[in-house]
Amino acid sequence: MNTITLGIIEDDELIQESLNAFFDAQPEIECVQISSSVEDFLTSIKSLKKLPEIILLDINLLGMSGIKGIPLLLNELPKVDIIMLTTFEDNDSIYKALCAGACSYLSKKTPLKKIKEAIEVVSKGGSYMSPSIARKIVNTFAPKQHKSNLLTPRQKEIVAEIVDGKSYKMIANDLFVSIDTVRTHIKNIYKALEINSKAELIRKSYDNEL
């Protein structure tokens, strides 16, 4: 197994040193650049022989924030994997970092051994995150429980088929009813939602408005 080249962007000197000392002792990982800011890091890498494959990135930095730096880092190093290493664990920071292109998100409380593990996992094409952060991430997908009772269960079935791209005829077949029944359902759905076209129905469905 090849050594993994690592970059660190972290403005707390204590943490910098602690990480540096730790990775120095790990033959699998070679720390090729440590900077206190994204700006410095971007300048420094121009004169490096070995480029980092993975970057540990803090959010609260001097100069631009780690999150704003992600696109710039990815622009300079398109193949790099970015692991956030930060004290912030709020949904918003996590969400923004991932949307910007980070591939993993760790709390600074994470033990060094786990950080190393995360680096190895990411290097193999995976992603590591703590259970609590993972939960926050999956929660961003979860349905926003509108649960409006505008539509009956049967009507919702019909909507699902429509959204799936089925024609009335196909729906009738799938649900074992006549096409006229499908028509009637759709008439009622349109009345209930105060719309009058399939396009609006699909939009509402995608926007979770039913």
Partner DNA sequence: ATTAAAATCACATCTTAATGTGATTGTACA
Partner DNA sequence: TGTACAATCACATTAAGATGTGATTTTAAT
Please give the residue ranges that form the binding site for a copy of itself (CB under 8 A).
71, 95, 98-104, 121, 124-132, 134-135, 137-139, 141-143, 162-167, 197-200, 202-203, 206
Nearby residues of 108 by Cβ (< 8 Å), 6 or more positions away: 15, 85, 86, 87
Looking at the Cβ atoms of 72 and 112, the one nearer to DNA is 72
Cα–Cα distance between 140 and 147 in angstroms, integer?
17
Question: Given the rule CB under 7 A, which residues bind DNA?
Answer: 152-155, 167-169, 175, 177-178, 180-181, 183-187, 190, 196-199
CB 127 within 8 A of CB 121: yes
User: Which option in a copy of itself, DNA, none does residue 202 bind, with CB closer than 5 to 8 A by kind?
Assistant: a copy of itself
User: Which option in a copy of itself, DNA, none does residue 183 bind, with CB closer than 5 to 8 A by kind?
Assistant: DNA
User: Which option in a copy of itself, DNA, none does residue 126 bind, with CB closer than 5 to 8 A by kind?
Assistant: a copy of itself
By CB atoms closer than 10 A (0-12, 13-18, 19+), residue 175 is middle
Q: How near is the Cβ of 154 to DNA at its closest, in Å?
A: 3
Tokens 């004169």 correspond to 47
Sheet containing 81-86: give its strands across.
Answer: 29-35, 4-9, 54-57, 81-86, 104-107
User: Which option in DNA, a copy of itself, none does residue 63 bind, with CB closer than 5 to 8 A by kind?
Assistant: none
Between the alpha carbon of residue 124 and those of residues 1, 2, 64, the distances in Å are 11, 11, 29
Strand boundaries in 2-115, DSSP class E = 4-9, 29-35, 54-57, 81-86, 104-107
Looking at the Cβ atoms of 91 and 184, the one nearer to DNA is 184
Q: How near is the Cβ of 204 to DNA at its closest, in Å?
A: 13
Q: Is 174 helix (H, G, I), strand (E, B) or coil?
A: helix
Q: How near is the Cβ of 21 to a copy of itself at its closest, in Å?
A: 26
Cα–Cα distance between 189 and 130 in angstroms, integer?
44
Looking at the Cβ atoms of 72 and 177, the one nearer to a copy of itself is 72
Q: How near is the Cβ of 47 to a copy of itself at its closest, in Å?
A: 22
Q: Is 123 helix (H, G, I), strand (E, B) or coil?
A: helix
Q: How near is the Cβ of 6 to DNA at its closest, in Å?
A: 30
User: Which option in a copy of itself, DNA, none does residue 148 bind, with CB closer than 5 to 8 A by kind?
Assistant: none
Q: How near is the Cβ of 145 to DNA at its closest, in Å?
A: 20
